[in-house]
């Protein structure tokens, strides 16, 4: 019954999830078991790249959930993603121990540079993995809760919400750029050594992170699917389409929006936490408003309002980005900008919508 609801009734989703699972099996095998001379060998670089895409796909899911289903455009999801990343980054920093450049047993290198005497209170506990992971969920979740509470209860909607979420991530960016914040300022956190005792430079560790990302994506997808197929999911869509009617049906619209926003923020934070060990750095640049808005474009390109569309969008846009920034960096912003315009003008339902249209034509 639950399988029927979550998977079987969703052909596109099954296809996409199948591909993700397939990737999670094949990529590590081709990377670890095959010699680098083999034509099927997958390079470390590709593994890292695909792992990054998996995190982005999870992030896109969280944006799609709030934008595609509830119609709330958040231009601040980059903030939750980055906060999650910082949570993981702090854990990884504590794992460095005395192997930093200055060899201080407790303080991070940047704290030594700033002549700090002791570890700030908010760095306490991050040497424990479970605590760090808890914070990865809690901090963005609480921020979303507080922010969403303030925003939704005063019925800030539409573009206003978009703009103040953008201001939120912008403010966080400014704050994290400050050295006194104690998060490494400009340079952010980097030079990680190991995670849970596994060396981050090791091939197998990276493959493991890749598989973890794939699993998180599948689980995240199923959780989102569970929400949107439930009655609550229908209420959420109703809020998007006719907010006031929903309210007069006796639903507390703000509550639905708030919990969905919090869940979505936590999902984004998980994506951020998985992203950081794979790219090896997190810095305040990730808070940049452009990043947050790029996520929206992934979803718009893939097709908002369908969960697998978000995954498709995240993969295709990021693949294009990698391709163009490598071969012709000049043109990438033209293409990204053009994508914004074209998708909103011509493809309101994204790639998925395009396929649907062809299929319907074929049916006729």
Binding site for other proteins (CB under 8 A): 73, 147, 149-156, 158-160, 162-164, 166-168, 170-171, 174-175, 177-178, 226-227, 230-232, 234-235, 237-238, 241-242, 244-256, 258-259, 289-290, 293, 296-297, 300, 330, 333-334, 336-341, 343-345, 348
Using the minimum distance from each CB to other proteins, give the nearer residue, 198 or 324.
324
Supply the minimum distance, in Å, between the C-beta of residue 291 and other proteins. 12
Which of 269, 132, 278 shows the shortest CA–CA distance to 192?
278
- Smaller CB separation from other proteins, 128 or 175: 175
Q: Which is nearer to other proteins, 207 or 262 (CB)?
A: 262
Taking the complex as a whole, the smallest distance from the CB of residue 96 to other proteins amounts, in Å, to 28
Contact 66, 304 (CB under 8 A): no
As measured in angstroms, the least distance from the Cβ of 222 to other proteins is 14
Q: CB-wise, 123 or 261, nearer to other proteins?
A: 261
Can you say whether the dihedral through the CA atoms of 307, 312, 315, 319 is positive or negative?
Answer: negative
Long-range contacts of 106-114 (CB under 8 A, 24+ apart): 108/184, 108/189, 109/191, 110/179, 110/184, 110/185, 110/187, 111/182, 114/179
Q: What contacts 364, CB < 8 A, 6 or more positions away? A: none
Give the shortest CB-3-to-other proteins separation in angstroms. Answer: 16
Q: Where would I find the H helices in 68-157?
A: 77-96, 109-113, 129-153
Give residue 273's Cα distance to chain centre: 9
Closest CA to 207 of 74, 2, 34: 34
- Minimum CB separation of residue 253 from other proteins in Å reads 7
The β-bridge partners of 189 are 282
* Shortest distance, position 75 Cβ to other proteins, whole Å: 8
Q: How far apart, in whole angstroms, are the C-alpha atoms of residue 139 and residue 126? A: 13
Q: Which is nearer to other proteins, 28 or 220 (CB)?
A: 220
CB of 327 to other proteins, least distance (A): 16
Place of tokens 């598989």: 211
CA distances from 55 to 13, 76, 83, 267 (A): 17, 17, 14, 10
> Would you say 56 or 263 has its CB closer to other proteins?
263
Q: Which is nearer to other proteins, 162 or 276 (CB)?
A: 162
């Amino acid at each position: 019954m639950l399988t029927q609801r979550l998977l079987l009734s969703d052909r596109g989703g099954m296809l996409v999830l199948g591909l993700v699972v397939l990737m999670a099996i094949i990529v590590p095998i081709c990377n670890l078991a095959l010699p680098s001379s083999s034509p099927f060998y997958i390079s470390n670089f590709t593994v890292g790249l695909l792992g990054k895409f998996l995190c982005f796909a999870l992030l896109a899911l969280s944006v799609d959930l709030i934008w595609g289903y509830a119609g709330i455009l958040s231009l601040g999801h980059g903030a939750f993603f980055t906060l999650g990343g910082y949570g993981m980054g702090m854990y990884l920093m504590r794992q460095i121990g005395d192997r930093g450049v200055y060899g201080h047993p407790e303080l991070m290198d940047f704290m030594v540079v700033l002549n700090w005497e002791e570890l700030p209170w908010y760095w306490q506990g991050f040497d424990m993995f479970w605590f760090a992971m808890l914070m990865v969920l809690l901090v963005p979740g609480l921020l979303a809760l507080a922010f969403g509470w303030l925003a939704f209860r005063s019925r800030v909607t539409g573009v206003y919400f978009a703009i103040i979420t953008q201001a939120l991530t912008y403010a966080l960016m400014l704050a994290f750029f400050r050295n006194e914040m104690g998060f490494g300022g400009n340079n952010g956190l980097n030079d990680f050594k190991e995670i849970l005792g596994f060396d981050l430079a090791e091939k197998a560790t990276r493959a493991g992170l890749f598989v973890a990302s794939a699993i998180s994506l599948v689980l995240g997808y199923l959780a989102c699917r569970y929400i949107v197929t439930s009655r609550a999911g229908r209420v959420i869509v109703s809020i998007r389409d006719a907010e006031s009617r929903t309210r007069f049906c006796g639903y507390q619209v703000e509550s639905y929006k708030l919990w969905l926003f919090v869940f979505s923020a936590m999902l984004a934070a998980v994506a951020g936490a998985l992203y950081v060990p794979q790219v090896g750095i997190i810095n305040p640049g990730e808070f940049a408003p452009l990043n947050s808005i790029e996520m929206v474009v992934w979803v718009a390109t893939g097709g908002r309002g369908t969960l697998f569309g978000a995954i498709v969008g995240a993969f295709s846009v990021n693949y294009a980005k990698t391709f163009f920034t490598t071969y012709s960096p000049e043109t990438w912003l033209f293409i990204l900008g053009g994508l914004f315009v074209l998708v909103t003008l011509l493809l309101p339902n994204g790639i998925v919508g395009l396929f649907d249209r062809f299929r319907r034509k074929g049916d006729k």
